[in-house]
Amino acid sequence: MELSADARAAFDAMREGITIIDTSGTIVFGNRAYLEFLKKDLGREVGPIEGKRLRELRPGARLPDVLEAGRPILHLTRKEIKDFYFVNMYPIYQNGSLIGGLSVVTFLEDAYQAKEELEAVEARSQQVIRRINKANGARYTFGDIVAVSPATVQVKELAMKVAATDAAVLLESESGTGKELYAQAIHNASARRDGVFVAINCASFNANMLESELFGYVEGAFTGAKRGGKIGLFEAAAGGTLFLDEISEMDLGLQAKLLRALQEHRIRPVGSVKEVDVDVRVVAACNASLSQYIQEGKFRKDLYYRLNTFPIHIPPLRERPEDISPLANVILNQLSHKLRRPFSITVDAVQRLREHSWPGNVRELRNVLEFSAYLTPSGIITRASLPNDLTRQQEDESLTLAQRTRAFEKQVILSLLARNGSSLEGKKKTAAQLGISLASLYNKLNTPEK
């Protein structure tokens, strides 16, 4: 067996010890790293080794065994006189015939260095994941959840306790109540906080697309499949949390596959014959009644029980009017930062907000306040600043003409104050526009409507 000058130069440049023998066990080549290894191991200078039998130099050498078996020996850990090392040994074939053997020795020092470098890379990767997660993933914590009413306080306390576990969570509540806010807070309060938070709306995909998104696929799994395949969200969220919103809309067949993934912690990508281990916590959410869906045959009972380990029901906004004022203040603070001017809301406007039924919950409240903020030059949101569908109320037939007049006058004054501002100058301007004195304006504002 002959090695070219280029091959010898390449082997000599390596830090690993390289040895090549022929079928008789005679050394054909040993690189510089291997000669240094022998010198250290034998405690003496080693002259040229090519042409010598390997076991004359090292009686315990295993490379000849590889020739006899015709199969490689991999990941072998050995200790000679002075040190540990790791070795892989391979038979060499040419045109189907065995012509020799090759061993690659990785020294302990290099192995530790590689391990440290891998750990450093892993640490940097985790830092990057945390930064990305903070910027784009789970931004909210339990500190962002407004809870004043007893019902909300109770739900928040339950969610905080659930976060400390690793069990599946089911958030059942109406649309707009803040289910993803709770999901992110649970993630950030859990032991998985350093992992990623991945969210997907199950109602946004058909069954086949959702299966590919969740479990991934291998190359050639279907027409149009991406070359090299695609990783699914279960694998992408490894070590973190997967939030499945609108899970009630998932196809029944896919529900069975999800159930198995939750039970076995293993998934099978589309088109693959192999399963993949996954380490993911699932938080699911829906605004439909899953118990009713089960009766209608649209949701699996066994999956429901699997997800329902810790059910959390977030009460709708109409059932927690105590939360409206602090929620409004939080939203207005956010709008102040967004629009770069201060906003506040009057007590009268808050009272009207508390009287509304809020079918769209917190999402509707945010939309109402944003609408009012854009149309309020003064930054003070009054009752008159609110959208018409909130201020329009059925007239009470028992009201006298004087009471109706006072109510109308007050609404007109508040509407002008919204444009002119509630400062002294704004009030003077409003009084002048209405042709009344400043004292009369104060009197009309402070006089009850009924």
Instruction: Summarize pLDDT for 160-213 with one digit per residue, the tens.
Output: 999 999 999 999 999 889 999 999 999 999 999 988 899 999 998 899 889 999
Given a cut of 90, whether residue 415 has pLDDT beyond it is no
Q: Is 391 exposed, middle or buried (0-12, 13-18, 19+ CB in 10 A)?
A: middle
In the CATH hierarchy, which fold is given to the domain comprising 137-315? Answer: Rossmann fold (3.40.50)
Given a cut of 60, whether residue 121 has pLDDT beyond it is no
Q: What is the DSSP letter of 51?
A: T
- Residues comprising the chain, all counted: 450
Equal CATH topology for 137-315 and 394-450: no
Take residue 45 and report the two structure tokens written for it: 């200078």
Given a cut of 60, whether residue 244 has pLDDT beyond it is yes
State pLDDT tens for residues 40-85.
Answer: 777 777 788 899 999 988 888 889 998 888 888 887 776 554 456 7
Q: Is 87 exposed, middle or buried (0-12, 13-18, 19+ CB in 10 A)?
A: buried
Domain segments of the chain: what residues?
5-110, 137-315, 317-387, 394-450
pLDDT value for 325: 95
**5-110 under CATH 3.90.1640.10, yes or no:** no
pLDDT value for 397: 46
Hey, what CATH class is 394-450 in? mainly alpha
Choosing among 1.10.3720.10, 3.40.960.10, 3.40.50.2000, 1.10.8.60, the CATH entry for 317-387 is 1.10.8.60
Query: Mean pLDDT lowest for which of 108-112, 313-317, 373-377, 393-397?
Result: 393-397
Report phi then psi at 52, rounded to 5: -90, 155
